[in-house]
Amino acid sequence: MTANIKKIGFLLIDGFTMMAFSNVIEPLRMANYVSSQPVYSWIISGFAGHQTSASNGVQVTHTAEIKHLFDCELVFICGGYEAENLMTDALKGILERLAVRDIALGGLCTGAIALANAGLLANQSASLHWENVTLAQEQFGNVKFLNHIFTIGDRLYTCSGGVCALDMTLHIIKQHFGREIVEKIQDMFVITAIREPASIQHLPKPKTLSHSYAHVIDAITLMKTNIEEPLTLADIAKYVGISERQLQRQFAKQLGVSPQQYYLNLRLEHAKNLLKHTTMPVTTISMATGFFNLASFSRAFQQQFHMSASDFRKAL
């Protein structure tokens, strides 16, 4: 099994967030603990000296020079609040060279900004901490920044940070070694559920909303109670008391998606839960989630989750 050990690299950027970093490295450690033999190894590197300072002031010691990142299968860029630290020529050059070597790359918290700056996210979707999405979208117009907790693409892993990094890492471990090892990690960490990539990372809370934000909450509440028979955008806008165009602008500003896409995501998440927790036929599930023919449901499910509904159920 030693030959199957996967080597992971962490490139720490000054001011990186400790929570996101810990929520990746700790599941890797636990994967080794619950396995009969080690399945992961990792190295930690950075640019200045022998340590990099996290946003909480903790100094993390490097275990390897940057050149050793090129021996890894997957390298995570650990970002923080200072976006300018992610756009240096030195970092851009390293990422370009790692990509040429076909090494998988990940961005934690604001790490996706570094990947975008290196041109590695062009015409792709990525997850980024919600505080940075608006500015990043303006700066990198060829990247679709999502309000999802994490996004897994072709050898690219981006995460909005914080606890979301734990969800993403468990999905990666499942990809590498299967469901059983992840269930053992869940038991050890007392994790009751793992969120899916399309889970929304940030939704304004009603108590702190301005009047315009409240329209988004009202619209989402209406969507959640009308899954089987979806409402039109016109109906939703009329109910919350604004125009369709205003509703579209507010969804784009607050959630990074259109109302229609958000509604579709809700319906597909509900379909996935029905596949997980019931024995309902796929045809029945498609109707229960507002799809009037199986073909439309199948296309939407495949596009969202990159597998058919039947294959998803078989994999459970």
Any idea what the CATH number is for the domain that residue 112 is in?
3.40.50.880
Q: Over its length of 316 residues, how does the chain's per-residue pLDDT go in tens digits?
A: 444 899 999 999 999 999 999 999 999 999 999 998 899 999 999 998 899 999 999 999 999 999 999 999 999 999 988 877 888 999 999 999 999 999 999 999 999 999 999 999 999 999 998 878 767 877 888 999 888 899 999 899 999 989 999 999 999 999 999 999 999 999 999 998 899 898 878 655 544 445 557 889 889 989 988 888 899 999 999 999 999 999 999 998 888 889 999 999 999 998 988 898 778 899 999 998 999 899 999 999 999 999 999 999 998 8
Q: Are residues 181 and 228 in the same domain?
A: no
Which CATH number is 246's domain given?
1.10.10.60
Decide which of 165, 189, 213 is a domain's last residue. 189
Residue 262, pLDDT score:
93
Decide which of 133, 162, 189 is a domain's last residue. 189
Q: Which two tokens stand for residue 193?
A: 């559920």
Q: Would you say residue 118 lies in a domain?
A: yes
Q: Are residues 311 and 260 in the same domain?
A: yes
Q: Are residues 178 and 210 in the same domain?
A: no
Decide which of 159, 189, 219 is a domain's last residue. 189
Q: Would you say residue 196 lies in a domain?
A: no
Radius of gyration of the chain (CA): 21
Q: Are residues 170 and 221 in the same domain?
A: no
Single-letter code of the amino acid located at 287: M
Inter-residue long-range contacts of 27-34, CB under 8 Å, 24+ positions, other chains counted: 27/166, 27/169, 27/170, 27/173, 27/185, 27/189, 28/169, 28/173, 30/185, 30/188, 30/189, 31/173, 31/177, 31/181, 31/185, 33/188, 34/181, 34/184, 34/185, 34/188
Q: Are residues 142 and 250 in the same domain?
A: no
Count how many domains the chain has.
Answer: 2
Q: Are residues 151 and 40 in the same domain?
A: yes
Q: Are residues 129 and 173 in the same domain?
A: yes
Enclosing domain of residue 221: 205-316
Q: Are residues 9 and 133 in the same domain?
A: yes
Eight-class DSSP state of 190: T
pLDDT in tens, 25-44: 999 999 999 998 899 999 99
Residue 186, pLDDT score:
95
Q: Would you say residue 200 lies in a domain?
A: no
Q: Would you say residue 115 lies in a domain?
A: yes
Q: Are residues 178 and 282 in the same domain?
A: no
Residue 208, pLDDT score:
47
Q: Looking up tokens 């029905």, which residue turns up?
A: 274
Residue 212, pLDDT score:
54
Q: Are residues 185 and 211 in the same domain?
A: no
Q: Would you say residue 258 lies in a domain?
A: yes
Query: d(Cα 254, Cα 256) in Å, to the nearest integer?
Result: 6
Q: Would you say residue 216 lies in a domain?
A: yes
Q: Are residues 245 and 272 in the same domain?
A: yes
Query: d(Cα 183, Cα 173) in Å, to the nearest integer?
Result: 11
Residue 204, pLDDT score:
52
Q: Would you say residue 123 lies in a domain?
A: yes
Q: Would you say residue 124 lies in a domain?
A: yes
Q: Are residues 156 and 245 in the same domain?
A: no
> Residue 78 forms beta bridges with which residues?
12, 108
Residue 221, pLDDT score:
85
Residue 91, pLDDT score:
96
pTM: 0.68
